[in-house]
Amino acid sequence: MIEKINSLLVEVETAVITTKEQVEDIRIKWLSKKGEVSALFDDFKTVPNELKKEVGQKLNELKTKAQEKINLFKEQFDASSNATESKSIDLTLPATPLLQNGSRHPLSLVKNEIIEIFNRIGFTVSDGREIEDDWHNFSALNTPENHPARDMQDTFYVSLNPEMVLRTQTSSVQVHIMENQKPPIRTISPGRVYRNEAISARAHCQFHQVEGLYIDEKVSFADLKQTLLYFAKEMFGAETKIRLRPSYFPFTEPSAEMDISCTICKGSGCNICKHSGWVEILGCGMVDPQVLLNCGIDATKYNGFAFGMGIERITMLKYQIKDLRLFFENDVRFLKQFTSA
């Protein structure tokens, strides 16, 4: 048996192959279950006890050298294959283009800019839940039960609990703030809101708002006007003008809607402003004393103002976007325009 092992050792050491297929052939010949080395291990049980140590060492040596030889052949052919592939590469071809960088969504850009503007004058950011109860979304905000906003055509109700709705405005966050924080309060509440409306170029069932609240002693309508004038000039440019028109909101009294001078035609009249020279961007007013009482704030000592704006509307004006639906379609052709914004 020693002679068979020595003979096979010589064969392994002197083996030469010329093709990659021969590597597998000699592996099968030497190391497969029916190979020559495996056969010698099967015969090992017939070796006399006094020779088992010597024969066992020889067998292990043979198996190790056979495996090393096969590995050596594999490495040689792999290296040769890689060299051939590298020679076939055309180095004059242009490099693979880099992956394009992503960008922030235009709504995120404008929301962050709004937050930064109000942060500079002391407003903090408050966040809240998107599923609200009737009290925080309607009742605390002085919305009577028969108000049109409660109608099923305007509000998404949670079917399992008719007292729960998808919030229709981020004013609900302000109610939580007033219930849990003592004045002075100066905060803005950005977030997504929902209304049961038909989707079109000018309306959507979901959109984004930023609502602001300032509660303190001796707050006046003049404070509200100056705050909004500051915002308009910071957002749209120092030449921007504002005007306030009387309006109605159940949670503010008096109430107003604010227009800015058209950023496209500079007030001379165009399709964007319907040739009026003005574009409406937000609603505002002095907080109704009943809302303060609903939230546990002494209305004889404190008063304040509130305002709310749609982020989509501000974004459409800022970037001259004419279709609201573009914000929600994730069209890369649209979004990549804001890569450098």
Residue 84, pLDDT above cutoff 60? no
* Residue at token pair 């006007």: 225
Homologous superfamily (CATH) for 106-338: Bira Bifunctional Protein; Domain 2 (3.30.930.10)
Q: Which of 47-51, 273-277, 289-293 has the lowest mean pLDDT?
A: 47-51
Mean per-residue pLDDT, 172-186: 94
User: Rounded to an integer, what distance in angstroms lies between the CA atom of residue 262 and that of residue 279?
Assistant: 6
Mean per-residue pLDDT, 131-155: 83
User: Rounded to an integer, what distance in angstroms lies between the CA atom of residue 32 and that of residue 28?
Assistant: 5
For 16-48, the pLDDT digits (tens) are: 777 777 777 777 777 777 778 777 777 777 777
The pairing of strands 242-249 and 252-261 is antiparallel
Residue-wise burial string across 300-326, b where 16 or more C-beta atoms lie within 10 A, e elsewhere: eebbbbbbbbbbbbbbbbbeebeebeb
How is the chain split into domains, by residue range?
2-87, 106-338
What is the pTM assigned to this prediction?
0.68
